[in-house]
């Protein structure tokens, strides 16, 4: 007993029309390429966004190794880096003051008992 095959279609695809599968495949390839490009460019974009977060381009200053140990002479460093270091040092100072106050209060409490 033979299985009958459906009759062959005599219509040919109209030139210039894409199938849904082809469009979805092309879209998938485009998205994959876009993700790869974003992944490659992300470190640079992140630095650019950090520099421009204030709304204006960060001015650049010339820094010597005497200013910042570990940097090469003539290395260009955005001014916001200096600000971040000062801010971090300020946080460290606040933390130190909080620790001193805590230690003082603990000592006062120990003296009571």
pLDDT tens for residues 19-28? 999 999 999 9
Per-residue pLDDT band for 97 (boundaries 50, 70, 90) equals: confident
- Tokens representing 81 are 């880096």
Q: Flag whether pLDDT at 77 surpasses 60.
A: no
Query: 51 Cβ partners below 8 Å, 6+ apart?
Result: 57, 58, 78, 80
Model pTM score? 0.35
* pLDDT band, very low/low/confident/very high, at 87 (cuts 50, 70, 90): low
Q: Which of 8-12, 71-75, 76-80, 104-108 has the lowest mean pLDDT?
A: 71-75
Long-range contacts of 64-70 (CB under 8 A, 24+ apart): none
- Cα–Cα distance between 103 and 79 in angstroms, integer? 36
């Amino acid at each position: 007993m033979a299985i009958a095959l459906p009759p062959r279609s005599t219509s040919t695809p109209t030139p210039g029309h894409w199938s849904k599968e082809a469009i979805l495949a092309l879209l998938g390839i485009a998205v994959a390429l876009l993700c790869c490009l974003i992944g490659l460019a992300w470190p640079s974009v992140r630095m650019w966004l950090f520099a421009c977060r204030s709304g204006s381009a960060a001015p650049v200053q010339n820094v010597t190794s005497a200013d910042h140990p570990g940097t090469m002479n003539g290395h260009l460093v955005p001014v916001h880096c200096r600000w971040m270091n000062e801010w971090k040092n300020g946080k460290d100072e606040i933390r130190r003051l909080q620790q001193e106050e805590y230690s003082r209060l603990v000592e006062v409490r120990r003296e009571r008992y």
